[in-house]
A and B are shown apart, each in its own frame.
Chain A
Amino acid sequence: MSAATLTPAPQASTERPLAHRSFVRDTRIVLLRELRPVARDPFSLLFGLIQPLVFLGLFGPLLVGSAGATLGADVWLWFVPAVLAMTTLFGSSVTGSNLQLDISSGVHERMLVTPLSRPAQLVGRALKEMVPVLAQSAVVLLVMLPFGLRPNPLGAVLTLLQLAVLGIGVGALSYSLALAVRKQEWMFWVVQQTVLFPVMLLSGMLLPLETGPAWMRAISTVNPLRYVVDSGRAAFAGDLASSAVAWGWVAAVVTAAVGLTVGVRAMIRSAD
Chain B
Amino acid sequence: MIRTRALTKDFVVSRTRTVHAVRGISLDVEPGELVAVLGPNGAGKTTTLRMLTTLIEPTSGTAEVAGYDVTDRPGRVRAAIGYVGQGGAGGAAQHVRDELVTQGEIYGLDRRRARVRAAELLEALDLTEQADRKVESLSGGQKRRLDVAVGLVHRPPLLFLDEPSTGLDPHNRANLWDHILRMRTAAPEPMTIVLTTHYLDEADTFAERVIVVDHGQVIADDTADALKAELAGDLVTLRVPAEHAAALATIAERAPGTRSVRVADGGVRAQAAGRAPGVEQTVEIRTADGPGAAPGLLRAADAAGVDVRRVDVARPTLDDVFLGLTGRSLRETGVDGAAPDPDEPTNAPTSATTKKEVPA
Contact = CB atoms under 8 A, between A and B. Distances in A.
Interface string B67-111: 111001001101101010111111111110010001101111000
B55 interface: yes
A106 interface: yes
B107 A9 contact: no
A106 B49 CA distance: 14
A113 B55 contact: yes
- The 3 A-B residue pairs with the shortest CB-CB distance in the complex, in nearest-first order: A106-B87, A19-B108, A11-B67
Contact of B62 (A3, A11, A111): A3
Interface stretch (A29-37, A164-172, A233-241): A29-37
9 contacts: A1-B5, A12-B67, A18-B75, A26-B106, A37-B93, A102-B91, A105-B87, A113-B83, A114-B103
Contact of A9 (B6, B68, B86, B103): B68
A243 B55 CA distance: 48
Given A9-B68, A11-B68, A115-B106, 16 more contacts: A3-B69, A6-B62, A9-B64, A9-B67, A11-B67, A20-B108, A21-B108, A29-B102, A37-B93, A106-B85, A106-B87, A106-B88, A109-B55, A110-B83, A113-B78, A115-B107
Contacts of B103: 114
Contacts of B69: 3, 9
Nearest to B62: A3
A112 B57 CA distance: 13
A37 B94 contact: yes
B98 A36 contact: yes
Contacts of B75: 18, 115
Interface string B14-41: 0000000000000000000000000000
Contacts of A107: 87-91
A113 B87 contact: no
Given A29-B106, A109-B55, A2 B62 contact: yes
Interface string A256-272: 00000000000000011
Contacts of B105: 29
B94 A33 contact: yes
Contact of B56 (A19, A29, A104, A271): A271
B54 interface: yes
A209 interface: no
Contact of B78 (A32, A106, A115): A115
Given A9-B67, A29-B105, A113 B79 contact: no
A115 B79 contact: yes
A115 B88 CA distance: 18
Interface in A1-19: 1-3, 5-6, 9-12, 18-19
A116 interface: yes
Given A5-B5, A29-B105, A271-B56, A110 B62 contact: no
A106 B64 contact: no
Contacts of B83: 110, 113
A101 B92 CA distance: 9
Given A106-B88, A109-B55, A110-B85, A6 B68 contact: no
A95 B98 CA distance: 21
Interface in A29-53: 29, 32-33, 36-37, 40
Nearest to B75: A115
Nearest to A5: B5
A64 B294 CA distance: 98
B3 interface: yes
Contacts of A5: 5
Contacts of A37: 91, 93-94
Interface in A92-139: 101-102, 104-107, 109-116
B107 A113 contact: no
Nearest to B47: A272
Contacts of B89: 106-107, 110
Nearest to B68: A9
B61 interface: yes
B91 A271 contact: no
A3 B3 CA distance: 11
B39 to A, nearest CB: 20
A1 B62 contact: yes
B288 to A, nearest CB: 37
A104 B92 CA distance: 11
A9 B2 CA distance: 11
Contacts of A40: 95
Contacts of B56: 271-272
B53 interface: yes
B150 interface: yes
B8 to A, nearest CB: 11
Contacts of A9: 64, 67-69
Contact of B85 (A19, A29, A109): A109
Interface string B167-183: 00000000000000000
Nearest to A36: B98
B87 A19 contact: no
A3 B106 CA distance: 30
